[in-house]
Amino acid sequence: MASTTLTAENFEKTILEGGTVLVDFWADWCGPCKRFGPVYEAASEQHADIVFGKVDTEAEQALAAAANITSIPMLMGFRDGILVFAQAGALPAPMLEEVIAKVQDLDMDAVRADIESQKATQS
């Protein structure tokens, strides 16, 4: 499965309905983004069970701002609509595979419980 272009119109729906979703925030003028692009695309071909989205930060400036993107490339990982990973910088293929494995292996019941306990302590 190749990557999907994400826009302000389909971003939220994709994150909420996608199960495991990785999002690459990038720009055409960004050298590290251009080096990471083929690595990301190759991973998308190997993991048909994951949605690989790409956000062009130049075309989607409001979306990038809403996601607090200050450095690119920025990789975000979502599970069940919850942001579970965010890191700036171009990852080599082995590190990207590590991130994918860790995101896939998360105990989402534990993640949700942790979120709830953090909310309770903030109240």
Note the pLDDT tens digit of each residue in 52-110: 999 999 999 999 999 999 999 999 999 999 999 999 999 999 999 999 999 999 999 99
**pLDDT on residue 1:** 58
CB 56 within 8 A of CB 28: yes
Using only C-alpha atoms, what is the Rg of the chain? 14
pLDDT > 80? residue 123: no
**pLDDT on residue 18:** 75
30 annotated active-site: yes
Q: Exposed/middle/buried for 53, CB within 10 Å: 0-12, 13-18, 19+?
A: buried
**pLDDT on residue 51:** 95
**pLDDT on residue 120:** 87
89 annotated active-site: no
Torsion sign (Cα): 35, 38, 42, 45: positive
Q: What is the three-state SS of 16-68?
A: HHCCEEEEEEECCCCHHHHHHHHHHHHHHHHCCCCEEEEEECCCCHHHHHHCC
CA-CA distance, 17 to 27, in Å (whole number)?
A: 25
pLDDT > 90? residue 122: no
Active site residue: 21, 23, 33, 96, which one? Answer: 33
Active site residue: 15, 21, 23, 30, which one? Answer: 30
- Structure letter (DSSP) for residue 81: T
User: What residue ranges define each of the domains in the chain, with the CATH number in brackets?
Assistant: 4-122 (3.40.30.10)
